Amino acid sequence: MLRPALLPYSRTLGRSMSVLAKALQYEHHGEPLDVLQLVEKKVEKPKNKQVLVKILASPINPVDVNIIQGRYPIKPKLPTVAGSEFVGKIIDIGNEVKGLQNGQHVIPLVNTAGAWSTHTIYQEDQLLAVSEKVGLAEAATIYINPCTAYRMLKDFVHLLPGDTVLHNGANSAVGQAVHQLCLAWGFKSIGIVRDRKEIDVLRDQMKKLGASLILTESEIRTTDIFKSGEFRRPKLAFNCVGGKSATELARHLDHHGVMVTYGGMSREPIEVPTGPLIFKDLAFRGFAVSDWHTKNHDKPERTQMFKDLLKLMEEGKFVGPACEMVPLEQFKESAKAALSFEGFTGKKFILDMNN
Amino acid sequence: MLRPALLPYSRTLGRSMSVLAKALQYEHHGEPLDVLQLVEKKVEKPKNKQVLVKILASPINPVDVNIIQGRYPIKPKLPTVAGSEFVGKIIDIGNEVKGLQNGQHVIPLVNTAGAWSTHTIYQEDQLLAVSEKVGLAEAATIYINPCTAYRMLKDFVHLLPGDTVLHNGANSAVGQAVHQLCLAWGFKSIGIVRDRKEIDVLRDQMKKLGASLILTESEIRTTDIFKSGEFRRPKLAFNCVGGKSATELARHLDHHGVMVTYGGMSREPIEVPTGPLIFKDLAFRGFAVSDWHTKNHDKPERTQMFKDLLKLMEEGKFVGPACEMVPLEQFKESAKAALSFEGFTGKKFILDMNN
């Protein structure tokens, strides 16, 4: 049953109890500012195993912008509603739904377009119920960045407590997730960030999240923290920048070390020197969380991952990225801001539909 | 017992039956022409589990030259006798030797300097007996190049019959081994070579060894053999060149493809584009056979590898690289020739001590 507070965005339409959702839709690829349109879409009452979700919050991720631009390998069928992850509240269920109930908070378990909408219909098995103890910003942003950090820490190298993880773009949302998971799991997170004036403020923020050390790109070039034994040489490095920054990470890798690339902010390729590749037995790998979700849809590892992340979030040991909640109607300003910062300010814009 | 034919190089010295070996020794790293010296070394009669080997043939590998130059991560204790692989004949054994006997051909099972010598002492368990059906050039060169090809084909990707292996430097000794193992195991070997005038002669040579197709570096840039389906997109590529050549191999890799680098002829790093790394889930790995031998010294995989390679050699299905046998005394001319061609002419120089 629709609650009065939801009425402004979900006008009941006669006896069918369908709602009018507001959604950010696009018909052609292009810059979000140019192609996104706020439209109204009729959403029918859920039938059988369907669930009607009132979306509460949905982030504007760099990947969402890239998909809209048509720069991402995933090409949705157009026209489509933008956005890929959210937290929502169940406001109606079909008569065959067994595992979910009205009022529960849910996140999507499928890689699907359409999160930038006030209401949407899912099949019961496409949703995961989450405790209301988990903050909206945390739940809304779990699917891409924390899952990326989680898988990169789990799937490439067997780390032992005290082992070092070295990563650039360390104030990005993935970087923030890496710090927190390293702290939770006993690894040392050494983050590299670009040289900047406010480096001390950033260092403090990142250390509060669990970073063992934050170095600028200048500092990592001359550091002796690995030579001195202050930190173990990293067996695992994460790269979202490319170019010289990636080369610098690789230079510090221990024998048999793996560098996982999950982004390419600099738009420069990674230069791999042949000698260390061969004689230090290094490996250079890539990772795309969207692929991982698709391939491991039914695997217990995936259930376990959500369980682990949500537990840390409930306990307050994992917080969402620094963010600004913005109304759906202000999507143009938000998209512009998200674009101009390219999502690497450490501040994420989250569409707030909780009204 | 020493046979008369061996006497000129192994003068018996009184009752102890020690021999005077001729050996190519160096006291300092440098160019082989400058630092190698032909010296005489007294080799005592073998005791207990020791075996005295008359070396018959030992190749001049690029890696041997690099070790002498001091450019290789393996740094032998100096002074040392150069050379790293050989085939020899047992000419005397200690009284506790059980598994080997006089007259048998043997190859070393240890990564040790000292092959460029007429005689040398090994422990019984450091040698593997090989049939005399195996040619001297084949047996003498099994340890580095065929083992490199064998492991790279076995250890990185699970290939199915009909799968394509793409490799540059395809006329190198490793390249020749790749062609032959691909033919024996049912894979398609597509080799890339540098543009050259005598390309047709080279194509014929490589096809006789088992290459499915030989393309020049110009041809691979524009080929449509993978688009057309004539060949399956490679899941595995081998790189010994680096630079643009490596980028070109990577460009053709199938999803989840692995590029294994075992050399860096061009001395240019490998450029890895971020997009394909992430979204095609590519992996860039390195391989050094010397490390592999050391780490897997006692493993059954190693015994099986030698068994497989020697069987193919006995059956005439695996021939050694095109080579020129040169007397030990002519090492200066041979080292110069090996250096100038950097071992990538498809012709290897083998020191002939079979006299």
Q: How far is A168 from chain B (nearest CA, A)?
A: 15
The rounded distance, in Å, linking the Cα atoms of A89 and B267 is: 58
Report the complex ipTM.
Answer: 0.86
Cross-chain Cβ contact A291/B274 below 8 Å: no
Share of chain A above pLDDT 90, in %: 79
Task: Give yes or no for residue A76 having a pLDDT over 50.
Answer: yes
Instruction: Give the chain B residue nearest A265 (alpha carbons).
Output: B274
- Segment holding B64, helix H or strand E: helix B62-69
Q: Once rounded to an integer, what is the mean pLDDT over residues B262-275? A: 92
Contacts of B263 in chain A (CB under 8 A): 274, 278
Residue A44's contacts (CB-CB under 8 Å, 6 or more residues apart) are A16, A18, A121
Task: Give yes or no for residue B334 having a pLDDT over 80.
Answer: no
Cross-chain Cβ contact A284/B283 below 8 Å: yes
Q: Once rounded to an integer, what is the mean pLDDT over residues A208-220? A: 97
Q: Which of B274, B285, B293 has the highest number of chain A CBs within 10 A, making it the mutation to test binding with A?
A: B274
Q: Which of B278, B279, B296 has the highest number of chain A CBs within 10 A, making it the mutation to test binding with A?
A: B278
Q: Once rounded to an integer, what is the mean pLDDT over residues A274-282? A: 94
Contacts of B285 in chain A (CB under 8 A): 277, 281-284
Average pLDDT, chain A: 91
Bigger pLDDT: B12 or B259? B259
A26 is a catalytic site residue: no
Torsion on CA atoms A274, B321, B84, B311, rounded to nearest 10: 110
pLDDT in tens, A329-353: 888 777 776 666 444 455 788 999 8
What's the pLDDT band for B346 if we cut at 50, 70, 90? low
Q: What count of Cα atoms within 13 Å lies in the side-chain half-sphere of residue B219?
A: 15
- What are the residue ranges of CATH 3.40.50.720 in chain A? 145-290
Query: Per the omega criterion (within 30 degrees of 0), is the bond before A79 cis?
Result: yes
Torsion on CA atoms B118, B123, B124, B129, rounded to nearest 10: -40
User: Angle, nearest 10°, between helix axes A62-69 and A331-341?
Assistant: 100
Q: Once rounded to an integer, what is the mean pLDDT over residues A82-88? A: 95
The two tokens of residue A311 are 């537990």
Q: How far is A45 from chain B (nearest CA, A)?
A: 38
The rounded distance, in Å, linking the Cα atoms of B7 and A343 is: 79
Cross-chain Cβ contact A264/B274 below 8 Å: yes
Cross-chain Cβ contact A282/B283 below 8 Å: no
Query: Which pLDDT does position B246 carry in this prediction?
Result: 96
Cross-chain Cβ contact A263/B273 below 8 Å: no
Residue A5's contacts (CB-CB under 8 Å, 6 or more residues apart) are A355
- Of A274, A280, A286, nearest to B282 by CB-CB distance is A286
Whether A277 and B285 have beta carbons less than 8 Å apart is answered as yes
Task: Give yes or no for residue B10 having a pLDDT over 70.
Answer: no
Query: Which pLDDT does position A73 carry in this prediction?
Result: 83
Query: Which pLDDT does position B329 carry in this prediction?
Result: 84
Cross-chain Cβ contact B264/A275 below 8 Å: yes
- Segment holding A92, helix H or strand E: strand A87-93
Q: Which of A277, A291, A292 has the highest number of chain B CBs within 10 A, making it the mutation to test binding with B?
A: A277
- Segment holding B168, helix H or strand E: strand B164-168
Task: Give yes or no for residue A10 having a pLDDT over 80.
Answer: no
What's the pLDDT band for B322 if we cut at 50, 70, 90? confident
Q: Once rounded to an integer, what is the mean pLDDT over residues B187-214? A: 96
Task: Give yes or no for residue B131 having a pLDDT over 80.
Answer: yes
Bigger pLDDT: A181 or B4? A181
Say if residue A161 is exposed, middle or buried (CB neighbours under 10 Å; 0-12, 13-18, 19+): exposed
Cross-chain Cβ contact B269/A271 below 8 Å: yes
- Of B272, B275, B281, nearest to A272 by CB-CB distance is B272
Q: Which of A152, A274, A282, A289 has the highest number of chain B CBs within 10 A, making it the mutation to test binding with B?
A: A274
Active site amino acids of B: 72
Q: Once rounded to an integer, what is the mean pLDDT over residues B217-232? A: 96
Share of chain B above pLDDT 70, in %: 93
Q: Once rounded to an integer, what is the mean pLDDT over residues B173-187? A: 97
Query: Which pLDDT does position B63 carry in this prediction?
Result: 86
Cross-chain Cβ contact B270/A262 below 8 Å: no
Lowest mean pLDDT among A1-5, A49-53, A184-188, B91-95: A1-5
Q: How far is B285 from chain A (nearest CA, A)?
A: 5
Q: How far is B253 from chain A (nearest CA, A)?
A: 14
Q: Evaluate whether the domain defined by B145-290 bears CATH number 3.40.50.720.
A: yes
Highest mean pLDDT (candidates A83-92, A105-114, B333-342): A83-92
Contacts of B242 in chain A (CB under 8 A): 274
The rounded distance, in Å, linking the Cα atoms of B296 and B110 is: 11
Cross-chain Cβ contact B277/A291 below 8 Å: no
What amino acid is encoded at B213 in this protein?
L
HEC secondary structure over B250-271: HHHCCCCCEEEECCCCCCECEE
β strands within A169-275, DSSP E: 188-193, 213-216, 236-239, 258-261, 270-272
Number of A:B CB contacts under 8 A?
A: 98
pLDDT in tens, A109-118: 987 789 999 9
Interface of A with B in 256-295 (CB under 8 A): 261-264, 267, 269-288, 291
The rounded distance, in Å, linking the Cα atoms of B319 and B91 is: 26
Cross-chain Cβ contact A262/B278 below 8 Å: yes
- Of B264, B278, B291, nearest to A274 by CB-CB distance is B264
The rounded distance, in Å, linking the Cα atoms of B19 and B13 is: 7
- What are the residue ranges of CATH 3.90.180.10 in chain B? 4-141+320-352
Whether B67 and B81 have beta carbons less than 8 Å apart is answered as no
Task: Give yes or no for residue B190 having a pLDDT over 90.
Answer: yes
Residue A333 bridge partners (DSSP): none
Give the CATH number of domain B4-141+320-352.
3.90.180.10
Average pLDDT, chain B: 91
pLDDT in tens, A121-164: 999 999 999 999 999 999 999 999 999 999 999 999 999 999 99
- Of A267, A280, A291, nearest to B281 by CB-CB distance is A291
Q: Once rounded to an integer, what is the mean pLDDT over residues B306-320? A: 97
Q: Once rounded to an integer, what is the mean pLDDT over residues B19-46? A: 94
What radius of gyration do chain A's Cα atoms show?
A: 21
Query: Which pLDDT does position B343 carry in this prediction?
Result: 42
Cross-chain Cβ contact A274/B274 below 8 Å: no
Query: Which pLDDT does position A334 carry in this prediction?
Result: 75
